Structure 1
């Protein structure tokens, strides 16, 4: 399904894109960051917060990170301070890259079991499917953030994977 190299590429892409979106959002006022914009999670800040919460939740399953408190509904308040969120995002992206760098085919060939708060049930799925979902979830919500930033007058950069700079 996926390879360790795909995971390393996606971890690099994740860090690059999060950095670009954070930089674009840094030019906005706090009022613009928290303004309700009709997206699923409401505002730019709340969507960034949910994304970091989701990444932290999945990494708690993949790599033993601390499990974030609350569920999906509370994820919009996981981090409510913009400066702190930007710092935590950069730290998380570095740790995701380190985790991806350590993956091998055998690890991706296993399965993952956890209790899903969203489904209210124990779940077991192929780890490779869960990792693919993890990267897809990031891209999905970054697309929402990109649209909200653009509507707010910010100018996020390129998002195409094939134009990702070398060395990211």
Structure 2
């Protein structure tokens, strides 16, 4: 799933790159508003989960601030690609022992401490990515951009 995440983020970044900055920032009625803001929230969400999973630096702000993580589009794309490598490297290093325990963290969304099994949290992590990439894909398509294949079985070897 980490490889799929990296592949699809590159796919959608390329399609979004065919739009103007104004088109990427236009409010399209999605939960996080625009293509850029949804991309930003997704990177923020990935960053907060990787902080919990692997101790990477915690992103600033909360969900409300997640839509403005990296303002410049070029810098955003570079950070997204860099962080997708971080996720892939982390996933490559996982073992059964890591999955055998629960994870406890303070959830700003829930407003309390939460404990859940790590396998369920990793599924949530990748499902959250897919959910928001689906929104981005729909907004890109509506804007006239043309993302490539998204089917999991098409993932390059």
* Normalised TM-score (structure 2): 0.99
Aligned with 1:124: secondary structure?
Answer: strand
Aligned to 2:77: 86
Aligned to 1:26: 17
Please list every run of 5 or more consecutive structure 2 residues that lacks an aligned counterpart in the other structure.
none
Match of 2:153 among 134, 141, 162: 162
The answer on 1:152 being equivalent to 2:134 is no
Aligned to 1:3: none
Structure 1 runs of 4+ aligned residues shifted over 3 Å read none
Aligned with 1:112: secondary structure?
Answer: strand
User: 2: CA distance between counterparts of 1:144 and 1:79?
Assistant: 19
Q: Is the 8 A contact 1:34 1:46 kept in 2?
A: yes
Q: How big is each residue's C-alpha offset from its partner over 1:135-162, in whole Å with a ceiling of 9 and x where there is no partner?
A: 0000000000000000000000111001
Please list every run of 5 or more consecutive structure 1 residues that lacks an aligned counterpart in the other structure.
1-9
- CA deviation after TM superposition for structure 1 residue 64, in Å: 0.6
Aligned to 1:99: 90
Matched ranges for 1:53-72 at <5 A: 53-72=44-63
Q: How big is each residue's C-alpha offset from its partner over 1:29-76, in whole Å with a ceiling of 9 and x where there is no partner?
A: 011010000000000000000000000000000011111111111100
- Alignment RMSD, CA only? 0.6
- CA deviation after TM superposition for structure 1 residue 81, in Å: 1.2
Match of 2:7 among 16, 26, 29: 16
